[in-house]
Amino acid sequence: MTETVKRRYVSPRRRHQADETRAQILTVAGRVFRDRGYGVPMPAIAAEAGVAVETIYRVFGTKASLFREVVETMLAGGVARAGVAVEDRPAIRAIIEEPDPRRQVARYAATQPGIHRRAGPVLRALRDAKATDPALADLWAEMETWRLEGQGRFAARLAEQGSLRGGLSLDDATSIVFTLCSLAVYDLLVLERGWSDERYETWLAAALTDELLGP
Domain-wise residue ranges, the chain:
11-84, 85-215
Arch. (CATH architecture) of 85-215: Orthogonal Bundle (1.10)
Whether residue 66 contacts residue 44, with contact meaning beta carbons closer than 8 Å, is answered with no
More confident residue, 139 or 47: 47
Q: One fold for both 11-84 and 85-215?
A: yes
Please check whether residue 69 is in contact with residue 78, taking contact to mean a CB–CB distance below 8 angstroms.
no
Q: Is 191 a residue whose pLDDT tops 90? A: yes
* pLDDT tens-digit map of 16-62: 788 899 999 999 998 898 888 888 899 999 999 999 999 999 999 98
Query: 11-84 belongs to which homologous superfamily?
Result: Tetracycline Repressor, domain 2 (1.10.357.10)
**Cα distances (Å, whole numbers) of residue 82 to 15, 19, 72, 153, 193:** 18, 13, 7, 19, 32
- How many Å apart are CA 68 and CA 140, to the nearest integer? 9
The answer, yes or no, to whether residue 170 has pLDDT greater than 70, is yes
Q: What is the pLDDT of residue 35?
A: 86
Q: What mean pLDDT is predicted for residues 189-204?
A: 98
Rounded Cα distance between 57 and 62, Å, is 6
Q: What is the pTM of this model?
A: 0.78
For residue 92, give every residue at least 6 positions away whose Cβ sits within 8 Å of its Cβ, in sequence order, or none: 86, 111
Rounded mean pLDDT of 67-96? 73
The pLDDT of 76-83, averaged and rounded, is: 60
Distance CA 105, CA 80 (A): 26
Residue 151 has pLDDT above 70, yes or no: yes
pLDDT of residue 1: 45
13-22, 97-106, 152-161: least confident range: 13-22
